[in-house]
Amino acid sequence: MNSVGVNRFYFVLPAYDPDEKMIPLVRELAAQKSPDDRILIIDDGSTPTHRKKIFAPLEELPDVTILHHEVNRGKGAALKTAFRFILDQPDLATIAGCVTADCDGQHPVARMLEAKAIMEKNPDALVLGCRRFSGDLPWKSQLGNQITKWTFRVLLRRPISDTQTGLRGIPAAFMQLYLKIPQNRFEYETQMLLVTPENHFVEFPLETIYFDQNSGTHFRPVKDALRIYGVVFHFFFSRIWLFFLSSLSAYFVDLGLFSLLFYRFLTTPVVCNLPFLGVIDIRLFLCCTGARVVSSIWNFSINRIIVFRKKKAAQLGRDLVRYYLLALCIMLLSWGALEIVTRFWIAERLAWLAKILIDAVLFLFSYTVQRNHIFNQGK
């Protein structure tokens, strides 16, 4: 362990019109936490009655700080206020991160302390307390989480068990990244999962506790769900769009360089005597090959750095080999599929249409392989 004052934590509790269960929860947390840790409560525009009845008694507790929003701005905005407060502390170097939890008692103090302990062992990971969705639970909680969980696993390749959990351990190093997220309400927590680097998640099991079928939640099943899925699909399709633009730019690099080589530099025949072929002009071969090599390196670099945001230089050689094996595979698949289609199903005069459809399918295949097996963030 480090010396006193080093690697301390904040326990962050966003609250909007909380009920009386918040008072014993905070008192228990204050009694059980480490002396170096602090409790930070964000009042997200609660009514004057709640401020007097709930927050006033809590402000008297030691190591408890309460920040107030004049109006309700959303859970995301409350978390941002907490992150800014923590990052503005003069002793930031001693702060390892924070544990966020709901204020209604769904996250017992023991689980908050467990999240902190897991953070101490995994300082570079977003820690998630994941509920077990089984038994007699509110239908909107079960349905919403299962749909979002499936979406994350299939579309985004992020196998997160509970995408809506509010019990999270957040390293201080991640807070600047999370402050850049534009959303301010429930969809903010979803966006946090999207911008966190892959393989920087650690989960631990959490019992599911609801009071009165979760009637106290401020989550709106339709409006907030639409916001959450809007964030998810925007993230997915924006990456597909970047992948398309990368491929398009590589095409123009290939075309431009071919034209430059063919019409400016290699303007005279390049004669070569090849076995079995005899004397031939290989100018077209040199121009096509040179242009394709440069454009493929361009495409590889853009996909690796911008589209899939992979920074690990140690895996550069591995990724390059896999990329060119994929390129060879796609070339053979394109040729083979086109050969089969034009031979058995459609006339050769429609080969251009078949090629468009085949290449569209291969485009999605290439995207999936590059995301999952070439530029994945595996350790």
Q: What is the pTM of this model?
A: 0.68
Residues whose CB is less than 8 angstroms from the CB of residue 199 and which lie 6 or more positions away in sequence, other chains included: 377, 378, 379
What is the per-residue pLDDT across 344-375, written as a single tens digit (0 to 9) for each? 777 767 777 787 888 889 898 998 899 888 98
- Upper half-sphere CA count for residue 178 (Cβ side, 13 Å): 28
Top-confidence residue, 143 or 122: 122
**pLDDT class for 139, splitting at 50, 70, 90?**
low
pLDDT at res. 279: 67
Top-confidence residue, 120 or 219: 120
Q: To the nearest whole number, what is the mean pLDDT of the chain? A: 83
Backbone dihedral angles phi then psi of residue 146, each to the nearest 5 degrees? -65, -40
pLDDT at res. 67: 96
Q: CA Rg, the chain, in Å?
A: 28
Q: Determine the Cα–Cα distance for residues 111 and 181; give it in Å rounded to an integer.
A: 27
Top-confidence residue, 235 or 18: 18
Q: Determine the Cα–Cα distance for residues 150 and 127; give it in Å rounded to an integer.
A: 20
Residue 4 has pLDDT above 60, yes or no: no
Q: Determine the Cα–Cα distance for residues 121 and 104; give it in Å rounded to an integer.
A: 28
H/E stretch holding 203 reads: strand 201-206
Length of the chain counted residue by residue: 379
Residue 230 has pLDDT above 60, yes or no: yes
**pLDDT class for 72, splitting at 50, 70, 90?**
very high
Over pLDDT 90: what percentage of the chain? 41
**pLDDT class for 172, splitting at 50, 70, 90?**
very high
Which structural domains are found in the chain, ordered by start? 8-221 (3.90.550.10), 234-307 (no CATH), 317-379 (no CATH)
H/E stretch holding 3 reads: none
C-beta of residue 123 within 8 angstroms of C-beta of residue 112: no
Q: Determine the Cα–Cα distance for residues 173 and 157; give it in Å rounded to an integer.
A: 24
The tokens for 42 are: 């964000």
